[in-house]
């Protein structure tokens, strides 16, 4: 009787301590899709002028006014980073690299908007949220509902891949910020 009771207590406490792997995968999928589509839409604003964006010309002028050299080139880089990084997160493909693309862009966005404080309309809370989400996904991986699951070497997400992605984003963002006036 005691062993049955102990087994029952052990199994119920284990089940209540955490969600199932399927719940984690579903949660990661939801975060990836919402964050990824949001960032990809911002990239499309920069590249194509979709969704009320400035396109390459308007975004290029903004980058030049913000102190970046070659504003149009910077608009292409930011637009591609957001679009491809966002879509990579949605699909869960090369997730550490996709997260790094979004993270690096958001570091630069924070630098540009930092003087506006934290809260909207000129604040940075949106960029902080996207930055944290991208870094979190780079570190945790996409879950099992992702293209990465079918790629050799990425089937089992490794923390080292996520850390490398975050470091890559930080270094490249810092280099871009160094060329900014």
Domain annotation covers residue 112: yes
pTM metric for this prediction: 0.86
Domain annotation covers residue 163: yes
* Residue-level pLDDT at 24: 92
Average pLDDT, 10 consecutive residues per value, the chain (181 residues): 44 56 94 98 97 96 95 97 98 96 96 86 92 96 92 78 95 95 79
Domain annotation covers residue 71: yes
* Residue-level pLDDT at 11: 42
* Domain total in the chain: 1
Domain annotation covers residue 6: no
Domain annotation covers residue 64: yes
Instruction: Identify the domain containing residue 145 by its residue range.
Output: 23-179
Domain annotation covers residue 113: yes
Ramachandran category for residue 14: left, alpha or beta (phi over 0 → left; psi -120 to 50 → alpha): alpha
Question: Which pairs from 148-157 meet CB under 8 Å and 24+ separation?
Answer: 148/92, 148/93, 148/94, 148/95, 149/92, 151/93, 151/94, 154/94, 154/95, 157/95, 157/96
Q: Please, where are the H alpha helices in 49-145?
A: 55-65, 71-91, 95-113, 125-140
Domain annotation covers residue 54: yes
* Residue-level pLDDT at 108: 95
Other C-beta atoms lying within 10 Å of the C-beta of residue 65: 10
* Residue-level pLDDT at 5: 40
* Residue-level pLDDT at 17: 67
Domain annotation covers residue 14: no
């Amino acid at each position: 009787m005691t062993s049955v009771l102990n087994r029952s207590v052990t199994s119920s406490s284990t089940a209540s301590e955490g969600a199932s792997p399927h719940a984690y995968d579903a949660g990661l999928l939801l975060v990836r899709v919402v964050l990824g589509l949001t960032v990809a839409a911002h990239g499309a604003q920069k590249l194509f002028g979709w969704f009320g964006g400035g396109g390459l010309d308007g975004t290029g002028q903004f980058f030049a006014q913000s102190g970046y050299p070659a504003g149009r080139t910077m608009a292409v880089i930011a637009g591609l980073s957001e679009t491809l990084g966002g879509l990579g997160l949605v699909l869960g493909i090369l997730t550490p690299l996709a997260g790094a693309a979004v993270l690096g862009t958001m570091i630069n966005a924070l630098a540009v908007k930092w003087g506006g404080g934290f809260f909207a309309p000129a604040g940075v809370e949106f960029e902080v949220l996207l930055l944290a989400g991208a870094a979190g996904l780079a570190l945790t991986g996409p879950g099992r509902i992702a293209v990465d699951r079918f790629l050799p070497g990425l089937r089992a997400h490794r923390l080292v891949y996520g850390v490398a992605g975050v470091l890559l984003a930080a270094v490249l963002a810092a280099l871009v910020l160094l060329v900014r006036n």
